[in-house]
Amino acid sequence: MLLRLAIRDYLLVENLELEFAPGLTVLTGETGAGKSLLVDALALLSGGRAESDMVRAGAGRAELAAEFALGRRAEALAWLAEAGIAAEDDACLLRRTVEREGRSRAWINGIPVTLAQLRELGGMLVDIHGQHAHHSLLRTDVQRALLDEYAGALDLAGAVAAAWRAWQLAAEQCRQALAERDRLSREKAETEALLTELVPVEGDAARWAELVAEHGRLAHLNSLLQATARTLELLSEGESAVLAQLNGARHELVQMGGVDPSLLPLAQALEGAQTEVQEAARELKRYADRLSPDPERQQELDRGMGEIHRLARKHRVAPEELPALAERCRTRLAQLEAARDLRQLGEAEARAQADYAENAEQLSRMREKASRALAKSVNAALKELALSDARFAVVLEPWPEPRAGGRESVAFQVSAHASLALGPLDKVASGGELSRISLALQTVLSSRAGVPTLVFDEVDVGIGGAAAEAVGRRLAALAAQRQVLVITHLPQVAACGRQHLRIRKAAANGAVATEVELLNRAARVEEIARMLGGREITATTRRHASEMLAHSEKPSSA
């Protein structure tokens, strides 16, 4: 349950700290006092959208925090454990800031979290019903979602929608394959022909650089042989070869070294040079021996490289890119084979359709069972809300063909009297009746969902008298199971509260701020009297207010 709420520099609030009790807490105040501000703050702490204009004028940022007691909320405790967030004494602190520039940050127990995480955990702790919830109740998609929630089938409904999308995708692939069968066949034939053309040269193209080098050697064979012979002549084979001259010079230095030993190191250096020249000459001779004319190899290279050049020009790629082109052809052929396999596509479509049918059948059974139980619970609630003659029903009608939402439509229908036929909410129910139907649904669903803190923002708009007293009793009964916060303008509802907060605007230092005051019993009498009689509070209205409080405090009224 919600223990504390702290707000600083948010909208018209400068600094506010509130503590909340179990049971029913009512929030009242004059029109325009900012009663919905606390609801908006809780919505923001539950991951709602932040706007820069939420920051109080003159402040740099707004700060909000809410502390919850988790008790034995296994779902929330498991979520915190999975997220790696400690929960000391089973407490949970949600905190959020909104900067003037619009940036927003969030924390759970001091650990920074994303808004998605804040929204996920917040949904386990507090359930907010806005004052316009009954308007969305007119939408058929909302009615279907409410029934699925009551049935505990939201996950299954999601699975049905996913299965329907998978089925439609598989069916579309089949239709496309049939429509494009001829085009795909032509593309397959063309791709096979191209691959047949590329395969003979694929290996040579892969070693294109080696072929170019070999072809260059063969093309200049005579020049290389002549140059090699001339070089060998200069190094070792001619009359004035370098080796002979080095040998002669070394011999002279050795002789002179007998007279002057300082010349012997020069002789040794020439000996090393002589050795290097000899090795170079031997290596060059081996190279010359390998240079043998091979006209057939030359012609083979000319043909092969010519074919590679032709294909490269034809397909507008570099010669060395032909192997990659062949690989792309193989990949595309595999895709075309899969696309043209109508039997396989048909089997995939049949599997997807069967998966949808299985999930949709299970969802239909759960909806059928839940529709009767929901109608029974709502009708019981309507009797408590002074609509004893009204009748509520959940009508399921099969669709002509399956849809993402399942095999049937879901419609909430009502009649104002048992003798009248059922009809759609927007055609049959008045504004006040619709508010009470909405409240009945919300309390039934909220009680089943088990969220520990429920917030109702003026869902009692449009009703009064005995109906208003019934609404108060209904909320008080719900508060025996859950912590309930209600913003109300009805004295009958306000009298049912166990904690009463009054919201008002106050002017100070030329600025207007929202203040919240916890009322004692005497102050409650005054506030309820104001709600009963407006600005003129008389002894009669005070007595009436006191009687209303006394009546609501009787055990039988809870």
Strands 483-487 and 453-457: parallel
- Looking at the chain, the whole-number percentage of residues with pLDDT higher than 70 is 87
DSSP class per residue in 536-556: ---HHHHHHHHHHHHHHTSGG
Answer whether residue 108 shows pLDDT above 90: yes
> Could you count the other beta carbons within 10 Å of the beta carbon of residue 279?
10
Side-chain-side CA neighbours of residue 476 (13 Å): 25
Q: What is the helix (H) or strand (E) element at residue 475, kind and residue range?
A: helix 465-479
What amino acid is encoded at 398 in this protein? P
* Distance between CA atoms of residues 50 and 40, nearest Å: 10
State the angle between helix axes of 115-125 and 74-83 in degrees (0 to 180), rounded to the nearest 10. 160
> Which helix (H) or strand (E) segment is 291 a member of?
none
- For 548, the token pair is 């209303």
* Torsion angles phi and psi, residue 85, rounded to 5: -110, 120
Residue 192 three-state SS: helix
pLDDT in tens, 477-521: 888 888 999 989 899 999 999 999 999 888 766 677 888 899 999
Q: Tell me how far apart the alpha carbons of residues 448 and 442 are, in angstroms, rounded to a whole number.
A: 10
User: Can you give the pLDDT at residue 221?
Assistant: 59
Amino acid symbol at 35? K
Under a CB-based contact definition with an 8 Å cutoff, are residues 381 and 440 in contact? Answer: yes
Predicted confidence at residue 267, as pLDDT, reads 81
- Segment 120-147 mean pLDDT: 80
Q: For the CA atoms of the chain, what is the radius of gyration?
A: 45
Question: Average pLDDT, whole number, for the chain?
Answer: 84
Residue 471's pLDDT band, with cuts at 50, 70 and 90, is confident
* Residue 447 pLDDT grade (very low, low, confident, very high; cuts 50, 70, 90): low
Start-to-end C-alpha separation, the chain = 20
Q: Look up residue 285 and give its two tokens.
A: 């001779």
Residue 484, classed as helix, strand or coil, is strand
Indicate whether 393 pLDDT > 80.
yes
CA-wise closest residue to 262 among 254, 251, 270: 254
pLDDT at residue 310 greater than cutoff 50: yes
Q: What is the pLDDT of residues 418-436, one digit of tens each?
A: 778 898 887 877 766 777 7
Residue 525: CB atoms within 10 A of its CB come to: 22
For every residue of 125-189, which 3-state class applies, written as one string? Answer: HEEEECCCHHHHCCCHHHHHHHHHHHHCCHHHHHHHHHHHHHHHHHHHHHHHHHHCHHHHHHHHH
Q: Would you tell me how many other CB atoms lie within 10 Å of the CB of residue 169?
A: 13
pLDDT recorded at residue 557: 43
pLDDT at residue 323 in the model: 83
User: How is residue 457 written in tokens?
Assistant: 């923002």
| Lowest-confidence region among 296-305, 444-453, 472-481 | 296-305
CA distance 331 to 349: 24
Least confident of 4-13, 176-185, 549-558: 549-558
Cα separation, 472 vs 478, whole angstroms: 10
Strand-pairing partners, residue 157, are none
φ, ψ (nearest 5 deg) of residue 226? -65, -45
Phi/psi for 87 (5° steps) reads -125, 95
CATH number of 2-131+422-557: 3.40.50.300
Higher per-residue pLDDT: 109 or 244:
109
Q: Are 67 and 92 in contact (CB under 8 A)?
A: yes
Tens-place pLDDT, residues 219-274 = 555 566 666 667 877 887 766 788 878 887 888 888 888 888 888 888 888 888 88
d(CA 500, CA 529): 14
Domain ranges, ordered by start, for the chain: 2-131+422-557, 182-339
Residue in 134, 121, 203, 153 with CA at minimum distance from that of residue 436: 134
Instruction: Please give the DSSP secondary-structure letter assigned to residue 55.
Output: B
Tokens of residue 547, six digits: 């009687």
What was the pLDDT predicted at 467? 78
